[in-house]
A = this chain, B = another copy of it.
Amino acid sequence: MNISEVSTASGLPAKTIRYYEDIGLIRPARSANGYRAFSDQDAHKLAFLSRARSLGFSIEDCRTLLALWEDRSRASGDVRKLAKDHLDEIDRKLAELHQMRDSLAHLVKCCAGDDRPDCPIIDRLAKD
């Protein structure tokens, strides 16, 4: 398989796939002409990576997850811990974003949004 094929199959841009090789997440073979030659296993890995990334795992987490995937004697506890830590991090970000959203929504609601200069949003930022 050439890169465009695994790209379509995995949903990852070719650029991203080359980057993943650069940082050692995958090691596709090379054809005689220098083109990357992806095996089915490479394609599976890329699909795995694509799904892990879409769940928000960092590249380093993905590296660990790949290793755990390939380790048949893994402990599911290790996977769970990684996922739980990530979940906690997401919850932290969610709380932060919610906080932002509520403040902002309140300000937007209070602002007349007309031609006059008076603006509670600016006032809040300036806090004068």
List A residues at the B interface (Cβ < 8 Å): 44, 47-48, 51-52, 54-56, 65, 68-69, 71-77, 79-81, 83-84, 86-87, 90-91, 93-94, 97-98, 100-101, 103-105, 107-108, 111-119, 121-122, 124-128
Q: With A90-B97, A97-B93, A101-B90 in contact, is A79–B47 under 8 Å at CB?
A: no
With A76-B113, A77-B114, A80-B121 given, name 6 new contacts (CB 8 A). Answer: A48-B125, A55-B103, A81-B113, A83-B104, A84-B108, A86-B104
Instruction: Output the nearest chain B residue to A72 by Cβ-Cβ distance.
Output: B117
Instruction: Output the nearest chain B residue to A73 by Cβ-Cβ distance.
Output: B117
Q: State how many angstroms separate the Cβ of A101 from the closest Cβ of chain B.
A: 5
Q: How many copies of the polypeptide does the oligomer hold?
A: 2
Q: Which residues of B contact A104 (CB under 8 A)?
A: 55-56, 83, 86-87, 90
- Tell me the dominant secondary structure on chain A's binding face: helix
Q: Which residues of B contact A80 (CB under 8 A)?
A: 108, 111-113, 119, 121
A94 and B101 within 8 A (CB):
yes
Q: State how many angstroms separate the Cβ of A85 from the closest Cβ of chain B.
A: 10
Q: Which of B75, B87, B108 contacts A108 (CB 8 A)?
A: B87
Q: A100 vs B68: C-alpha distance in the bound complex, in angstroms?
A: 21
Q: Which of B75, B113, B126 contacts A115 (CB 8 A)?
A: B75
